[in-house]
Amino acid sequence: MSTITSSLTKWQKKKLCSLLSHDRLSLLFKASVHGYNASTFHQKCNTQGPTVIVAYNKSGYVFGAFTCKDYGQTGQNVVDDKAFLFSFNDKEVKEAPLRVFSGNPQYAFTDTGPNFDSLRFLHNNTATVYSNHAATYIFEPQQMHGNDLQLTECEVYRVEDCGGLLEKPWRNVQWNSERRKALLSIISGWKPSVSSVKQARILLVGHVGAGKSSFFNSINSVFKGYVSSQANTGTAGTSLTTQFRTYHIKPGSGVSHVPFALCDSMGLEEGLNSGLDVDDFASILKGHIQDRYQFNPSMPIQPESPHFHKSPGLKDKIHCVVYVIDTSKIKLLSDKMNDKFAVFRNKTNQLGIPQLVLLTKVDEGCPLVAEDLKNVYQSHYINKMVQEVSAQLGVSLSAVIPVKNYSQELEIDPQTDILLLNAVVQILRTAEGFFDDLYNPEERSE
């Protein structure tokens, strides 16, 4: 998936959220990516419930319109007594944001497009806004947009309620230092049930920017005792990781043995000849691809490649595939991306490799979790996303594990460690299935 990122700064997002009295904004449409036109706007934004359109100009104004009604393409005036226009400016931090309600709620907007009468966004399918302050919503143009009608960006967000906390957590986690120690001891005491294999090889796959490399960094950090960023992470349009990497983690944190290696791959993308290729994926699973192989999305690895392992042993194969998915992107995964996941899952099933799903960025997904990670199994929103991804990918609920990676922290934190270590324990238990299955070799297909 080409990653679409919000142009809102943290400050702007906070301001907008408090203006909307909601705490979750899910990006649906971004004009610089999808085009300044009404037809893609409708494709992405119709029947999404409450939304907010946000326009940006060079003069530092962030302005737009909220409606709690659906966009459609009926050409009708939509009645919405909650709709309003808003504006605030980066340079006037102390100024209260402007909020203008419609003088006539019968005519909140026309749903042929984001057309709020006094402000018509994507005007004539261009990066401009048409402004008529004397129409349904009455405002001072200088205050609304500084008379700068050329847009540098225009986005639409679904405005969601994160649904608060469930009465009881749906999984029990002990959040104390004894548990952290116990988890470390479970991990260091684990070993594959086949003596020729010393470490489980775990492959991380998922869409671009899902947090695959960050997951390795985070696990490495737990064992180091400080936040480490060995693997390159960040956001780019396409996968930042372009090499196949096998990371062996040095023992630490009182642990003498780390019985697994994490393999990091290139992100999945929608298009043909982009992102991780399914043939390369199959070669990794079978143990043919060696550390530091440079992926070429337009051509899978060839047997002549110096990084092609011609006769891999059991220890070189992948013993567990972990699909890494950004919690906030689940609803945004396109059909093409879901199809790609299905192809990858099929391949993995054919080879009899157990699989599970890591839901990353739970802190970004739910503000209650960002506030206190201990809310992770009590958050309505995370619970809903776990169910959604389980249905979407066709994995059981018990195979979906929410985590938060270290992303901006400098020091490790006991709660984050516990959630990460829990995930490792689940991964190892899942990998165990691979070795257990070897007792029925006739059921496996290569």
Tell me the window of 211-219, 292-300, 387-395, 398-406 that interacts with Mg ion (CB under 5 A).
211-219
Tell me the window of 136-144, 193-201, 291-299, 355-363 that interacts with ligand GTP (CB under 6 A).
355-363
CB 231 to ligand GTP: min, Å = 7
**Shortest CA distance to 403 belongs to which of 201, 209, 212?**
212
379 binds Mg ion (CB under 5 A): no
Tell me the window of 121-129, 158-166, 176-184, 209-217 that interacts with Mg ion (CB under 5 A).
209-217
CB 189 to ligand GTP: min, Å = 27
360 binds Mg ion (CB under 5 A): no
Which 364-393 residues touch ligand GTP, going by CB under 6 A? 364
CB 18 to ligand GTP: min, Å = 20
Which 40-69 residues touch ligand GTP, going by CB under 6 A? none
208 binds ligand GTP (CB under 6 A): yes
Binding residue (CB under 6 A) for ligand GTP from 361, 375, 382, 399: 361
CB 84 to Mg ion: min, Å = 41
Q: What angle do CA 272, 238, 421 make, to 5 degrees?
A: 110
Per-residue x/- mask for ligand GTP, residues 258 to 297, rule CB under 6 A?
A: ---------x------------------------------
Nearer to ligand GTP (CB atom), residue 64 or residue 206: 206
Binding residue (CB under 5 A) for Mg ion from 48, 102, 213, 405: 213
CB 210 to ligand GTP: min, Å = 4
CA distance 389 to 402: 11
Which 241-270 residues touch Mg ion, going by CB under 5 A? 241
Tell me the window of 65-73, 176-184, 192-200, 208-216 that interacts with Mg ion (CB under 5 A).
208-216
Per-residue x/- mask for Mg ion, residues 216 to 245, rule CB under 5 A?
A: -------------------------x----
422 binds ligand GTP (CB under 6 A): no
CA distance 215 to 229: 10
Task: With beta carbons less than 8 A apart as the criterion, state whether 263 and 290 touch.
Answer: no
Task: With beta carbons less than 8 A apart as the criterion, state whether 95 and 89 touch.
Answer: yes
CB 420 to ligand GTP: min, Å = 10
Residue count, binding to ligand GTP (CB under 6 A): 22
24 binds ligand GTP (CB under 6 A): no
CA distance 258 to 121: 55
Nearer to Mg ion (CB atom), residue 240 or residue 314: 240
Nearer to ligand GTP (CB atom), residue 123 or residue 329: 329
CB 220 to ligand GTP: min, Å = 12
Name the site residues for ligand GTP (rule: CB under 6 A): 206, 208-214, 233-235, 239-241, 267, 360-361, 363-364, 404-405, 407
What residue ranges bind Mg ion (CB under 5 A)?
212-213, 241
